[in-house]
């Protein structure tokens, strides 16, 4: 058997181990040919000039016959260095390259060799010598055999050093359990960020604006502590990105009593029309647009709907602010002009143009507040409040007292109530801090036989004024106006008032808990001059009234040009029929 080995290994090991057991060894000399004469003293060595170790295994197939002849004929101290022999060997390699490659693959795929490796006779004779040749299976080197052999632990020596049992993690090695929810709600929000980032000069401008107002951010973050956990829970339940939990910061600064000039109200700033579309009750007693639970569910449902419509979160946010129909028209306009239809490419009002950059700026600050000099106090990742179902009417101040909490805190969690007491028929749900529920129930049992309300609804007669009603029920006009959300300078008497019951109402000052009253169409009269070609039907459609109303308000016989018609409380004037300029929050939400 012949074996190709590196020269260094041949010098150090094989001189001692192969002297008596092998007829010849082919050495890959590489660059180290100095030792060949020394090796020739004990072995028949064939030098392969100009070939590296990578070539040696293949050269071995063509040279083994030469090595065999050398081992038989040459004296032990001779070395073969003839170029003719090398040339003949190289020609043999060229004719047998396929056979050599197969042998090499076989050797690489074989297991560690047994003491007697199998041989296979080859029919083709060597072009140099006539003796039949044998295919040599090259065994892996010693390091390869060590790596491929599995470690037998039973043969290892026993450990005789000091034994220690480690009960705690190693010092300085941090471990993270990715399955455990974070303790800080801010981190939970960061983990759920999934919207594509918006990078623009406008975003940088908004980041600088917020960073320059740390007191404003601190107040807003403090207000958000009551509501964020519930909002994040609802967002994750719907599989939506947690950037949406920051949207009330843009909409209302997390003020549940916020009210805009467009009559948008609550944390999520619903206008009356969109609130009704999403079943948010709005009446004299209760405005669900300000209710934390109801408005959050409606806002997320609305955002989900516009996202499914637009297929892009930036366009969905623009739809939430501007109106989905307005965004759809802007997209169609760009598409018809062959322009891009993404958020940055659409024409839109300034408020909507700044809307998404504000949200992105807040996201950037919350992601890494330290570079902006912002202190973000941790928020416990646990419910702040819970809801209970009540079965009786109850005063707002009494409910706060039973829960042993400030009335301001109670109103912040129940901002949908418009009056100082809550009829169960209007809304049967109360929102209380999670740690105050048992206290509330225990104190409520003590009032089981007592009345929980000290107010009642009252309908003034036609001739009654606010002053006369106040005198009748033993309170001042200012108290009557305050408890009913009437402006200090108003003189008109509403059709429905809240007044003390039996003169025993709790007249303690309530926090500002009433949003401005819902917009009510006041009686208004418009005179219309009939023009040539107009009909009763076209006039009714123009003012959005019925033809029956027109006949009731006017003695109409035959309609003629120049005739004057009186129209009461019209919903729209002739100018209102013209296409208005797009304004944010006017068309939706």
**Pick the catalytic residue: 243, 251, 324, 482?**
251
303-312 core/surface letters (b: 16 or more CB in 10 A; e: else): bebbbeebeb
Tokens of 107: 């050797």
| CA 55, 58, 60, 64 torsion-angle sign | negative
Distances (CA, A) of 381 to 182, 227, 434: 7, 12, 13
What number of residues does the chain have? 589
13-32 core/surface letters (b: 16 or more CB in 10 A; e: else): ebeeebeeeeebbbbbbeee
Tokens of 448: 């089981």
Residue 54 burial (CB count, 10 A): 8
Residue 371 burial (CB count, 10 A): 9
> How far is C-alpha 147 from the chain's CA centre?
47
Tokens of 101: 């490659």
Measured between alpha carbons, how far is 440 from 550 in angstroms, rounded to an integer?
56
Distances (CA, A) of 38 to 3, 7, 11, 53: 19, 12, 9, 20
Q: What is the signed CA dihedral for 327, 330, 332, 336, rounded to 10 degrees?
A: -170
Strand partners, 68: none
Q: What is the CA radius of gyration of the chain?
A: 46
Catalytic annotation on 3? no
Q: Return the SS3 of 527.
A: strand
Tokens of 562: 């120049």
Q: Which residues contact 118 (CB under 8 A, 6 or more apart)?
A: 137
Tokens of 523: 């009686």
Element (H, E) at 429: strand 429-433
Measured between alpha carbons, how far is 570 from 378 in angstroms, rounded to an integer?
53
| DSSP strand pairing (4-6 vs 26-28) | parallel
Ranges assigned E (strand) in 169-288: none
Known catalytic residues?
251
């Amino acid at each position: 058997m012949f074996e190709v080995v590196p020269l260094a290994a041949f010098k150090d090991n094989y001189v001692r181990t192969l002297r008596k057991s092998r007829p010849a060894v082919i050495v890959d000399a590489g660059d180290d040919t100095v030792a060949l004469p020394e090796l020739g003293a004990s072995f028949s060595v064939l030098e392969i000039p100009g070939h590296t170790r990578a070539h040696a295994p293949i050269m071995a197939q063509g040279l083994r016959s030469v090595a065999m002849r050398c081992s038989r004929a040459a004296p032990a101290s001779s070395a073969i260095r003839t170029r003719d022999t090398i040339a003949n060997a190289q020609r043999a390699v060229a004719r047998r390259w396929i056979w050599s490659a197969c042998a090499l693959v076989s050797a690489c795929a074989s297991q560690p060799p047994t003491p007697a490796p199998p041989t296979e006779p080859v029919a083709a004779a060597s072009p140099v010598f006539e003796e039949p040749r044998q295919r040599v299976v090259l065994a892996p080197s010693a390091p390869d055999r060590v790596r491929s052999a599995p470690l037998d632990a039973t043969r290892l020596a026993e450990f005789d050093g000091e034994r220690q049992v480690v009960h705690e993690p190693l010092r300085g090695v941090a471990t993270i359990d990715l399955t455990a929810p974070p303790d800080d709600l801010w981190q939970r929000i960061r983990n759920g960020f999934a919207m594509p980032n918006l990078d623009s000069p406008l975003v940088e401008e908004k980041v600088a604006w917020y960073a320059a107002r740390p007191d404003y951010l601190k107040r807003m973050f403090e207000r958000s502590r009551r509501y964020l956990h519930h909002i994040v829970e609802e967002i994750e339940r719907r599989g939506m990105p947690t950037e949406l939990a920051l949207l009330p910061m843009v909409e209302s600064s997390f003020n549940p009593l916020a009210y805009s000039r467009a009559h948008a109200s609550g944390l999520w700033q619903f206008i009356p029309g969109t609130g009704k579309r999403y079943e948010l009750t709005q009446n004299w007693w209760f405005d669900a647009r300000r209710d934390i639970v109801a408005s959050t569910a409606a806002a997320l449902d609305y955002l989900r709907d516009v996202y499914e419509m637009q297929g892009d979160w930036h366009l969905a946010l623009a739809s939430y602010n501007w109106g989905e129909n307005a965004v759809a028209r802007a997209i169609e306009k760009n598409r018809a002009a062959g322009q891009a239809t993404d958020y940055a490419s659409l024409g839109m009002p300034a408020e909507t143009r700044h809307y998404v950059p504000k949200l992105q700026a807040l996201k950037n600050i919350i992601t890494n507040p330290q570079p902006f000099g912002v202190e973000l106090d941790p928020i416990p990742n646990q419910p702040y409040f819970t809801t209970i179902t009540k079965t009786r009417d109850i005063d707002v101040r009494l409910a706060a007292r039973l829960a042993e909490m400030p009335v301001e805190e109670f109103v912040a969690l129940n901002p949908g109530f418009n009056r100082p007491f809550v009829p169960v028929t209007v809304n049967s749900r109360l929102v209380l801090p999670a740690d105050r529920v048992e206290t509330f129930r225990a104190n409520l049992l003590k009032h089981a036989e007592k009345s929980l309300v000290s107010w009642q609804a009252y309908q003034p007669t036609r001739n009654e004024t606010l002053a006369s009603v106040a005198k009748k029920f033993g309170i001042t006009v200012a108290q009557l106006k305050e408890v009913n959300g009437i402006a200090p300078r108003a003189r008109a008497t509403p059709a429905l008032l809240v007044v003390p019951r039996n003169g025993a109402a709790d007249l303690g000052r309530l926090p500002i808990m009433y949003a401005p009253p819902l917009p009510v169409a006041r009686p208004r009269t418009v005179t219309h001059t009939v023009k040539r070609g107009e009909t009763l039907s076209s006039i009714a459609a123009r003012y959005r009234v019925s033809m029956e109303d027109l006949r009731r308000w006017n003695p109409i016989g035959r309609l003629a040009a120049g005739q004057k018609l009186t129209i009461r409380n019209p919903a729209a004037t002739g100018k209102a029929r013209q296409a208005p300029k797009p304004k944010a929050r006017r068309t939706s939400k």
